[in-house]
Structure 1
Amino acid sequence: MKLPRSLLLAAGLSLVSLSALADPLVVEGAQVRAVPPGSQASAAFMTLRNPGERDVVLVAAESPVAEVSELHNHENVDGVMQMRQVPQVIVPAGGSTELAPGGLHMMLIGLTAPLVEGEPVEIELQFESGESQRLEAPVKRIVVEDEGNQGHGHDH
């Protein structure tokens, strides 16, 4: 009677695998900031929506375009806005969390290749539960009012 037991075990393992592959979040508007050639860092932005009944805790991220990926926030420290690494980002049950310029965001540090506007960047989100979720975010130009065009000219 080993056959039924092994079938049960195989069926149980396939159910575990399927639940581990389920995407815990809906990712909307994902994008990576286009930066000038030679830049060592960029940032990724997106809205994370949690349709589930439990909070989802994002604890890390990875991308092949960067040596290091970190979760960051901008905080007012003695009247000065400073970027600080945070250990986690909580996406509340039935709610959403925005990763956007000037707030929570993902830093891509030590870029391993130039980011090409319009090209997708692969990002893997890692959660406290041990699950992970892959997504692609296109490289987009994000214009900041005080940013000049110096160094962006192409003389051929």
Structure 2
Amino acid sequence: MPGKLFAVALMGAALTLSGCGESPEQPAATDAVGIPGMKISNARMVLAPVAGNPAAVYFDLAYDGDRQVALNRAEVTGANSAAFHDYAEFEDIRQMQEMLPVPLKKGDRITFEPGGKHLMAMDVSPDLKPGGTTEAAVIVSGGKKQTFPVEIRAAGDER
């Protein structure tokens, strides 16, 4: 028994000593937030002309990733909720409606623009003011998130 205790103590000392000095090389950290191959540009939020109404977020999305993904949901910092919307015709009336998930494959380009696909931000904080910025995120099925800065514009500004 004393031999076993000595062996255990010796192993513990060796482990403690190996913690001193240089540490073993660690693998490079990877970016936990971001979707490989996705680039978002030209992002801007246009505030509603009436306080309390939703704001619209427009941007250009380019996807060159190797894996197929689907835009599933979104977030906007300073808004209680956000949802992708598009326009569709129903009974000869063009209406805005919530979008279903949008599949993306390598080479896809989508423009989120006035009169088309866009991101609605609901219950926007009064702290978000024209000339400022906020952050938005698109989330794909599976939960990966791509965040991006968004310029804030007044209702009458260029969209």
1:49 maps onto 2:54 in alignment:
no
Between the aligned partners of 1:56 and 1:97, the Cα distance in structure 2 is 14
Runs of 4+ in 1 over 6 A off after TM superposition: none
Q: Deviations over 1:96-144 (max 9, x none)?
A: 1111111111110112225311211211221113211211110124659
Checking the alignment, whether the CA contact within 8 Å between 1:67 and 1:109 is kept in structure 2 is yes
CA deviations 1:49-83 (Å, max 9, x no partner) are 01223333111111232111011111011111111
Aligned residues: 137
Paired AA for residue 63 in structure 2: N
- Name the structure 2 match of 1:89: 102
| TM-score in terms of structure 1 length | 0.73
| Structure 2 runs not aligned, ≥5 long | 1-13, 19-23
Residue 62 of structure 1 aligns with which residue?
A: 75
Indicate the structure (1 or 2) with the bigger Cα radius of gyration: 2
Change (3 A) 1:98 1:34: same
Provide the C-alpha distance between the structure 1 equivalents of 2:122 and 2:105, rounded to a whole number of angstroms. 27
Q: Identity across aligned pairs (percent)?
A: 21
Checking the alignment, whether the CA contact within 8 Å between 2:132 and 2:152 is kept in structure 1 is yes
**Partner amino acid for 1:42?**
A
Query: How far apart, in 1, do the equivalents of 2:93 and 2:141 lie?
Result: 31
What is the aligned-residue RMSD (CA, Å)? Answer: 2.7
Structure 2 residue corresponding to 1:117, chosen from 126, 130, 151: 130
* TM-score normalised by L of structure 2: 0.72
